[in-house]
Structure 1
Amino acid sequence: MPISDPGIVPAAKGRTRYRPGLDAPHEDAADDHTFFANTTRERWVRYFIGCLTLLFGLSGVLMAPSGIYYGGVPVFVLIGSLTAIPVAIAWFVRPWPSPPLANAFVLYADVSIVAILFSSVDSFVPLTGCMMFTIVGVFTVIASSSRVMWTHLAVSVATVLTLGVLAVRQGTNPWLVSATAVTVATLYLTPLMMRTYLRYLRSRASGAVIDSLTGLYNRRGLLEAIDGVNDAYADTTTDRTIGVTVLDVDRFKDINDRFGHPTGDAVLIDIASRLVSAVPETSVVSRLSGDEFVIVHIGSAEQIASSDHRIRVGLDESYSGPPYTASVGSASEFLAGEPVTPAVVRKLIALADIEMYRSKSRLSEDDGRSRGSTTGTRADVRTRIEGLISAGGPDVVFQPICDTVTREVVGYEALSRFPFGYGSPTMWFRDATNAGIGPLLEVAAIDRALAASESLPAGTFLSLNASANTIRSTDLPTKLRPFQKDRQFHLEITEHERVDDYRAVTRSIESLRAVGIFISVDDVGAGFAGLRQVVELRPDTLKVDYALVHGIDTDPVRRAAAASVIEFAHEIGSRVIMEGIETEAELRVAVELGADMVQGFLTGRPGASTRTGHRKRRAT
């Protein structure tokens, strides 16, 4: 399959099939079904259950001529016992049943046992037969859900109690009945103990094959999961292809060094979530090492190409955390009827790895040229961006900014959306700056946002981003004036670009303030200038960066830093927006610290008409 250039994404926000950071291994039928269906052990377990079913039937048949049933040898008891034969044969010849069929088997077994037990004239004799419920209970633990297990145990206990009461009424010694009933009922604890032990074994097993951070398979789990992939496509012999996609986070160490390891972990969890969402259930998604992910797909060549494309598109979506990029490589091989083997997977991983690092090298070379004097590369970038500007600029969506206490929407921030294939908004604006047309792209984004702002609710403000260079070189007051009669505007000065001439920027800002435009400093807590930008520009609003907000409910250092920023802002008469709010706990901290407004996925994602969540640099 063709290999495309590396996907580049901004950052941070798992088959069993785990959801990253959310799911522990399940205790219910789906996991047991997957476990037995994907191992050679399932055949021997089926044989064992089939033999038990035959023995149940044999027990009923042997009881029939004993004379304890109404009418001597009731035909329906004999017929009911003989039904165990086809059921047992089904266990021998069919694969492990689906959860609905397993539940049907439990129902069949319970109804059959109850019917035979209550057919006896003497209610005491069948009490010992209630032990058969224990075997069925064990089956519910490994093949059915907790609800079915508890329902089965309730039926079992009710049957023992009912037979005991009937036996006492028939004149059987109450002490003997009680002792027998207690002995039988004690056996019903076996499924409960087994369930607890299986949960312990699952946690041990999953720890060996599952990455604890993302919930994806680890290196060992990836190779073991290949059996499941083979089973899923066992009947497919035509156009059967295996595809492997390898992903590596660029400069991941820089993320950990700059934002801290919790933020680096959030990046990995976000990537895992995107990968799981992008591929079919039958694909195997794994994290092989710190920042390397591998996805294995089986299907037709078209399906493999489609899955690989969805992965790249998914990675181009952005998150409300610090920007990151990722490089992607792919490789595939036609299998026909041959099974997938670890050797094939390892070979394709190696080939995809080579392609990924070639792409990563091309990206580094292009990045270096765009910063240097190679006019050809700069010209290509300039032509691409000028083409986008002439076509109307980037698309735009709006993310709500809400009152911290009431959660009422009080404003919106404009977010840029760029064509897929050249990276995140951060990369587009950086390329434009390196090509010498940064202000042109920013102004195009502003124009697009202003045109689209007519759809926003009245009474809400609109926040636009602009670099210091754009503020100095563009007559923004004239551009914004026609729209000011309908709403208030906040101009965010991003802190990710160094301000070299504060005096010139301050003069431009004063002209903006003179016509009623509010000034906001973006990304306080992450950037070049620190608090100097706040001191020099005297903003009306400060935005506390995601790096301080993410995990603030559990990190006392982040909480203390954010509290200091908020106290400082209020001291100088500025309002505070905490951005990147994603959980109720983070919102509670924002309320406790006195933040005026909040912005993030918890209180509102960008408009539903476009993709959500792009990160800095956003629509200016």
Structure 2
Amino acid sequence: MSTPRFGLQARFLAGSAVVLLVVVAIVGLMLVRQAAAQREALRNSGEVLSQVFDQGVRERGTALANALADTLINPLYYSDLAAIGAAVRNTARQKSVSYVLVYDPDGRLIHDGSFDVAGYGQPMNDPLAKAAVRSRKPLVQESPSILEVDVPLAIGDQPLGGLRVGMNLAPVRAQEAKSMHALEQRMRETQRRELGWALGLMLLLLGFVCVMAFYVQYTLVRPIRWLGAAAQRIERGDYLIEAQATRRGDEVGELLRTFDRMSQSIARHDRDVRQMAYTDALTGLTNRLAFREALDHRLLRAQAAGRGLALLFIDIDEFKRVNDTLGHEAGDDALLQFAQHISSAVEQIGGDDALLARFGGDEFVILISQGQSSAAEIAKQLAERLVIDLGKPLHVQQREIFLGSSIGITLFPEDAGDATALLKNGDIAMYQAKLAGKNCFRYYSLAMDHAVERRLHLEQELRGAWERNELRLVYQPIFRTRDRMLCGVEVLLRWDHPALGAIPPSMFIDVAEQSGLIQIIGPKVLRAACEQAQQWPRNALGEELFISVNVSPKQLRNGDLLQEVESSLLGSGLAAARLHLELTETAVIGDEMLAVSLLEKLHRAGVKVWLDDFGTGFSGLSHLRQVPVDGVKIDRSFVADMERDPDDLALTTAIIAMAHALGITVVAEGVEQEAQFELLSQRGCDLVQGYWLGRPLEAAGLVSLLERGAMAAVR
């Protein structure tokens, strides 16, 4: 009996070979698929890592640039290089910031953060400069080593220049490459080990091929696919990845845990970036960017529901004085107290939907949504409460300070239909509250827009008016009552505009005060008046005329008044005793400590100081004992009614008597009738001025009057 040529063993071997080939083929296919999946996961992870790092740098650069841009608006507007440099250096010190450049509208460098600014005024010629200067909206540019965020700077439609913040990409690329290399190494190790496991199991036990296939699928393919899906979610910006609670101790488990830690780190970084971008660092309140996004969203909801909104724009009155006199730490303390008062009032009155934000500096904004009562009514109640609460004293550095607030209210849809217009209207209304005397609130109206436009036009025209010879000085004669002799003049400023004609001082002086131009014009007036007075002849008694120059409260507070006076006297050769400075009573009382220190220095220099508009302030005669002044000018409102109003006559008499008792000269202004002159003379008033005595004169007219030896009896 012949032995079968293809027996059971052969069949078994053949079957085993077939099974082995099938298993090998299956395992081979699985390994190929696994390698492809790993490559796909590696590629996706690389792309996600690159995008995450790039997005992080982009968002940080944008946040830094926007924050710095808000800080630079006022310093750039007033060409305050010191403040610009301080802000630029503060940002340039940030980690990963390569450079910070501030330039004017023509692309010339204003500041680069250095103390000498070697390239000041020079055009920027680097490859990214041209696009940055040409752009009229925020722009992000990228070179192989730098990611640059460009932000144009402007006030309204007036361009001020721009800001360039360069972020160094080298550390980012290095970290990205390191992370990618680590991930690639992990995947390669996993691939090698899993291949060894597969080959070993095939050699040891062929019968477990199917189990091995299931094992590979369960322990390797599924985690890798999960990693790929998670990486794609991160790529789409979804950083909330559920952690894989695995206890596996192999490379896949380590990879899963590593990926978990990486995704959590990315999520924390995203939260930190969002918090930096949307939260005010000092107060913890919503910042300008987040408020604007919320305002846009709520406007859409209000339009769809036909509901109203109210916007309150709050500005702290005289806040700059706190920073200037007590320092920025005290200013931050005051801001925190203000924020707490505002938050408390908003919680009690504004309702659950009210949103409070700090816009930067001393500006706060509140958004009121319509609830059970109208938004306008809630805004009114809240504004009334805030005027009272914010007018209360603050305790800062063991001192009690009074500031107050100016609040502007604008309504949707009555006043505007979009966020930009609402914010502009709130700012305008707040500005009108300041003009109304501060520590109050005002509603926006269309008339305010026209008033602001006219005021802005006047401010623009006033810039450079001195250089265009549109501003001129005139001189109001001042006479002694005892001998009716011309002994001095008050220097007055007049503006003759080529198109608008003669603009009243009451209009353009207020514009100069509010815009800060008075700090530029004031020193020029002082220097020109001193130079002119030095050329005048003596009066009929051989006396040299004194000149009385008005000084703005802003000039008093900026700390440069003493240097400006000394420079004007030195440059003109005018004797210090011939210069009288006129300060308003309210300006001196508003910052008495600073005023006393400055006036004492002026006294030592030989300059005399008068209090103008005396009697209209809140202090009365009691402050004359603390403030070292040489003279007071009785306000024209008391002089005008002396003949008819016994109270005005009694008050004028009391001022003269009290001032003389303290050794202070008394000047009366607004004398327009002889009877007023006689009443003042009888009561011992030292000096008088007014239209009855003489109208303001040009320099030539004043010289002619001196040469005639005119006295008060001759009009």
Please classify the TM superposition score into its range, dividing by the shorter chain length. Answer: 0.3 to 0.5
Structure with greater strand share of residues:
2
TM-score (norm 2): 0.32
Normalised by the length of structure 1, the TM-score is: 0.36
The higher-RCO structure (CA 8 Å, 6+ apart) is 1
